[in-house]
Structure 1
Amino acid sequence: MKKGIHPDFRKVVFMDTNSGFKFLTGSTKVTNETIEWEDGNSYPLIKVEISSDTHPFYTGVQKFTDKGGRVDRFLQKYKMKENN
């Protein structure tokens, strides 16, 4: 490998800002913040909005924002009743 062209790969802590969940992994991301980890060492801290701790795919909790299909929304918008 050529020297001086690759980013610095090091251990960093990622923290989920919603739940406070933290994990230590390797990354090339750069940040000015640091945090003391469980082993007593200080590592760069990268804050993320979503992680495996809060993502619906991993938690099994999903929120559906779409209420009804196109027809239901149309009928509601124009205050019409569905003929059944």
Structure 2
Amino acid sequence: MKQGIHPDFQKVVFMDSATGAKFLAGSTLKPEETIDYEGETYPLVRVEVSSDSHPFYTGKQKFAQADGRIEKFNKKYGLKK
């Protein structure tokens, strides 16, 4: 592997702004803000959506399209009786 071409990574705490959930992961981000997490001080990155608040993972997902493609087409352009 070539030396000096890979970015340095560090452990960073990501915090979901919507729910307050926190998780620790490696990242190349270098935020200014820090937080105490499990007895250690880590850099903090605030995110708007994570697996804790995303509708797909929470099971609160809404299905916008209930009809199939053909039914939707026939409703819009189908023959009138």
Same fold per superposition (TM over 0.5): yes
Correspondences of 1:5-84 after superposition (within 5 Å): 5-38=5-38, 40-63=39-62
Distance 1:58 1:41 in 2: 29
- Equivalent pairs counted in the alignment come to 73
RMSD: 2.6
Does the residue aligned with 1:23 lie in a helix, a strand or coil? strand
Identity %: 61
Segments of structure 2 that go 5 or more residues without pairing to the other structure are: 66-71, 76-81
CA distance in 1, matches of 2:18, 2:47: 9
Q: Which runs of 4 or more aligned residues in structure 1 lie more than 6 Å from their structure 2 counterparts after TM superposition?
A: none
| Gap regions ≥5 residues in structure 1 | 72-84
How far does the alpha carbon of each residue in 1:13-49 deviate from its partner, in whole angstroms, 9 at most, with x for none? 00000000000111111100000011x1100000000
